[in-house]
């Protein structure tokens, strides 16, 4: 249910994967509220207040009807399962879903590669190699 009584709260950190959750919520036309957190300008870490939402202190986190969900992939699964009404991905158990999972795995691999490369580049720049 997302009829205004069951509100989704997104704990959103600036410049983070939380943005993909906001995109999905918009795509699904769901009601939600955003609690904003700002990265430390020097360390780029999330503020300690995010740890009060979940001990890992990472974003995104969503809360809905007493349920706290972390990890952007798990949040996307949860939102599509609970509110997708068949939108944005093929139904479970169909050959189309199987193909799309294959594509997702491939895309995730490439995304992971990109993230690792950026991190390595930042570390190299920091240590001057």
Binding site for ligand GSH (CB under 6 A): 13, 16-17, 45-46, 57-60, 71-73
96 or 111: whose CB is closer to ligand GSH? Answer: 111
Min dist. Cβ of residue 98 to ligand GSH (A): 23
Task: Calculate ∠ Cα 98-103-106, nearest 5°.
Answer: 130
Q: Among residues 88 and 94, whose Cβ is nearest to ligand GSH?
A: 88
CB of 55 to ligand GSH, least distance (A): 12
CB 2 within 8 A of CB 83: yes
Residue among 23 and 98 whose Cβ is closer to ligand GSH: 23
C-beta closer to ligand GSH: residue 59 or 82 = 59
CB of 7 to ligand GSH, least distance (A): 21
Nearest to 69 by CA among 2, 80, 112, 108: 80
SS3 assignment, position 103: helix
Query: Which among 32, 39, 26, 29 has a CA at the least distance from the CA of 10?
Result: 32
């Amino acid at each position: 249910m997302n009829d205004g009584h069951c509100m989704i709260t997104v704990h959103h950190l600036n410049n983070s994967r939380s943005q993909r959750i906001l995109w999905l919520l918009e795509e699904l036309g769901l009601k939600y509220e955003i609690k904003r957190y700002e990265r430390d300008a020097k360390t780029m870490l999330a503020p300690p207040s995010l740890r009060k939402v979940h001990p890992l202190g990472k974003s995104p986190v969503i809360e809905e009807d007493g349920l706290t969900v972390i990890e952007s992939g798990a949040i996307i699964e949860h939102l599509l399962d609970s509110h997708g009404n068949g939108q944005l991905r093929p139904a479970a158990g169909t050959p189309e879903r199987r193909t799309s999972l294959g594509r997702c795995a491939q895309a995730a691999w490439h995304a992971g590669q990109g993230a690792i490369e950026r991190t390595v580049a930042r570390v190299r720049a920091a240590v001057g190699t």
